[in-house]
Structure 1
Amino acid sequence: MSESPTGSPPERPNARGGQRVNGWLVVALLLVVAALLLRYRLPILSDLRDPDAKPRAVTPRGELADVEKTQIEIFREASVSVVHITTAALARTSDFGVARVPQGTGTGFVWSEDGYIVTNFHVVSGAQSAVVTLADNSTYTASLVGLEPSKDLAVLKINAERGALRAIPVGQSSELQVGQNVYAIGSPFGLQQTLTTGVISGLGREIRSLNNAVIRDVIQTDAAINPGNSGGPLLDSAGRLIGVNTAIYSNSGSSAGIGFAIPVDTVNRIIPDLIRYGRVERPALGVEIVPDSVLEDMRRNGIAGLDSEGVLIQTVLPGSAAEQAGLQGTRFDTEERRYVLGDLIVAFDEAPVTKAADLFDALDNAAVGETVTLTVIRAGESIEVELTLQPLPTLNP
């Protein structure tokens, strides 16, 4: 290694001097930043607070809109008739213990001031007990009065003090039109006394009950109906009951703007039976009919007398309304060795009957004791027959 001319080691850069220069640069930059902050006065906490702050003056609201007044009045009048229903089932906790386990919640409404409450069948199905909470938060243990699974309807009974209940006004669903305003009151997700609004989106819809029976003439609405609304009332703009909220169409389980309500005309026909008998008394003609598929085979085989569409009577039950009215069943003529066709029902109170389902629908909308007119084809001639419908259980062959 070479030496310097003087013989001393070579000089090395002063590291401390370089650090001193960099430090001064940092200080200079901080001073520039501080100057900019002062120049543009960036807010600090003391600048954000005002010790003299006061409440804002209230802007006068003015009159409520007419539609708001209507909605408020409907809710005020109808909500006192809407109840919250909590159900429970009994579950075994040990070899000797049983506990009451909450099962679900739903909505109902006061049908009459003597304590009858209407709700959905699926709200109380499988429950061992039910508690009804009124709009004033008073609670009552409910007793089951009657069920109609095929229409998803049920009736409960509570023993409330005189004057504690107000029956909901009843309307008529046959008068409804698509586009009418409607209002739903219920307990979605357990939130009691909730009002939602919408319109009638469709009429004459069909849905299926828990026992897979078809419920017809159902009202479709876009008023929000969520879990917990089931059994609650659907009201028109006069505050009248027009339907019982029962189902939604949704992929998520929450309202998607497609809700369904059982029409009040059906409710008003079913509920009195449930209160009187605990079940629905179904009207019947007192006949056995030829299945549609067999009737079609008979037509394909060229059997005469089946040119018209309708329902062929196979047997008239003894002692039935059909026998008393003179209806005739299909029989085998032993002398001519051939079948003689019975009456072919083609109309029920002027409503066309082309298949068995039409006849069942007509009976479903009729009542025991009602007099109806059947149009039948007998030996090629059209005749009308009047008969009074009898309850189905009393008809024995």
Structure 2
Amino acid sequence: MARSSSSSLLFPAVLLGSFLYALCPREAFFLPSAWRSEPEAQEAAAPSSSRRSLLAGALAVAAPERANALTTEELRAANLFLTASPSVLSVSEGKKNAPGPTGTGFVWDASHVVTNFHVVKELKSPHVTFLRKDESGSEDHITVGAYVVGADPLSDIAILQVNAEENTDVASLMQPLSRGASENLKPGQEVFALGNPFGLEHSMSKGVISGVSRSMEGTAGWPMSGIIQTDASINPGNSGGPLLNSEGSVVGVNTAILSTSGTFSGVGFALPIDTVQKNVESMIEEGYVTRPSIGVELAPDEVSESLGVPGAMVMKVVPGGPAQRAGMRALRSGQLGDVIVKMGSRPIASSSDVFRYLDQRQPGELVVMSVQRASSDLTSDDPDIVDITVRLGRSNSKMVVT
């Protein structure tokens, strides 16, 4: 009786097992590979392409937000771009796509745009182009004329007055960028360069400040000091665009690159905003940048070096100027002129040192200058050192186009 009962239970169980095995995928039974044939083991070890596709799709559907999510740092940078870019304009000759040099500018106040002098110096009919996006996200270009109201080639700064009467939307588009300070910038500080490199509108690159207080030679040999060095990508077309700090404030104006190819190689330069602001305010109020002057023309440093004379050699003295009134002597009759070796307490080794010193002074200040002069004792080969007091005069680089 016991054997008959076991047989009756075993037969239905075998039937049920066979039915489930035929109905379900074989992998669902997790049979050890040793129990399967070689083809079966290989099939189980390699999921089919259809199952891989289903798995990938499921993961994509399950976590779309994770795949497209921005990090906190990326979100901050994206918001900075969205906030600042409407105030960054392209500067060109005539209407959009007209031939001619092209650069970048940015909104300074309700009626002015700031850019580099070298961007506008060849333009006969400057125009600025705003890039606006409508509610659908489509881009709309608004190009209007502008004219130069102030230009300073020595600091490579120019100001454009925008002709708002050409388009009623311009007034609402003139949104000034906030301005920071460049005095306390530190190497390693994060910065963003905005502009139109190679004509690619509204581009932004990210980098750090690589160095501060760099010097560049400007027009007429006047050195520009306090220049910001950055590795944020700057290329042709970026000139005149803003260099922003991580808060979105302008700390510099992109100006030049150091390159052997003409394109960016990791070393870019920007004018410090402290200098830009001082010169822009002067140009808006007076039409030019006022600088102190001593009223002399200095010899090229190569001349002084070839003669073995350290300092800044005076070639000419402006008649009636500050230097002449103080008794400074110029080159004459084959006799060397005075050589400036000290201004105030600062040693002078070259003409660039003279310019840097004057950059920190104001017209009307009294400056004690030490000059090396041919000895009054004709039997002596040693020069005299003479101290003279000069009241600094006033000079300007007025270049206003009306």
TM-score by length of structure 2 reads 0.64
How does 1:219-258 map onto structure 2 within 5 Å?
A: 219-258=228-267
Residues 1:142 and 2:137 aligned together: no
Unaligned runs of 5+ in 1: 1-35, 90-99, 300-305, 333-338
How does 1:145-294 map onto structure 2 within 5 Å?
A: 145-160=149-164, 162-207=171-216, 215-276=224-285, 278-287=287-296
Residues 1:85 and 2:85 aligned together: no
User: C-alpha separation between the residues in 2 aligned to 1:359 and 1:244?
Assistant: 25
User: C-alpha separation between the residues in 1 aligned to 2:112 and 2:199?
Assistant: 22
Measured after TM superposition, the shift of residue 108 of structure 1 is 0.6
Partner SS for 1:227: coil
Residue of structure 1 equivalent to 2:393: 389
Residue of structure 1 equivalent to 2:77: 71
Measured after TM superposition, the shift of residue 271 of structure 1 is 2.6
Q: Give the number of the structure whose alpha-carbon radius of gyration is greater.
A: 1
Checking the alignment, whether the CA contact within 8 Å between 1:107 and 1:228 is kept in structure 2 is yes
Name the stretch that deviates more: 203-212 or 233-242. 203-212
Partner SS for 1:123: helix
Amino acid at match of 1:320: G
Checking the alignment, whether the CA contact within 8 Å between 2:288 and 2:396 is kept in structure 1 is no
Checking the alignment, whether the CA contact within 8 Å between 1:368 and 1:391 is kept in structure 2 is no
Partner SS for 2:232: coil
In the TM superposition, what whole-angstrom CA distance separates every residue of 1:263-301 from its partner, at most 9, and x where no partner exists? 3233234333443455544431134567767777988xx
Checking the alignment, whether the CA contact within 8 Å between 1:327 and 1:343 is kept in structure 2 is no
- How many percent identity over aligned positions? 36
Partner SS for 1:118: strand
Residues 1:376 and 2:370 aligned together: yes
User: C-alpha separation between the residues in 2 aligned to 1:226 and 1:291?
Assistant: 31
Partner SS for 2:102: strand
User: C-alpha separation between the residues in 2 aligned to 1:227 and 1:313?
Assistant: 38
- Which structure dedicates a bigger proportion of its chain to helix? 2
Residue 349 to residue 239, structure 1, CA distance change in 2 (3 Å):
farther
Q: What is the CA RMSD across the aligned residues, in angstroms?
A: 4.5
Residue 330 to residue 70, structure 1, CA distance change in 2 (3 Å):
same
Partner SS for 1:80: helix
Query: Match for 2:62 among 57, 66, 71?
Result: 57
How does 1:33-52 map onto structure 2 within 5 Å?
A: none
Amino acid at match of 1:125: K
Partner SS for 2:274: helix
In the TM superposition, what whole-angstrom CA distance separates every residue of 1:308-335 from its partner, at most 9, and x where no partner exists? x5446677655434466x4544799xxx
Residues 1:108 and 2:105 aligned together: yes
Amino acid at match of 2:152: E
Residues 1:131 and 2:127 aligned together: yes
User: C-alpha separation between the residues in 2 aligned to 1:177 and 1:48?
Assistant: 51
User: C-alpha separation between the residues in 1 aligned to 2:271 and 2:370?
Assistant: 32
Residue 48 to residue 59, structure 1, CA distance change in 2 (3 Å):
closer
Checking the alignment, whether the CA contact within 8 Å between 2:205 and 2:232 is kept in structure 1 is yes
What is the aligned length? 330
Residue 252 to residue 374, structure 1, CA distance change in 2 (3 Å):
same
Residue of structure 1 equivalent to 2:7: none
User: C-alpha separation between the residues in 2 aligned to 1:199 and 1:354?
Assistant: 32
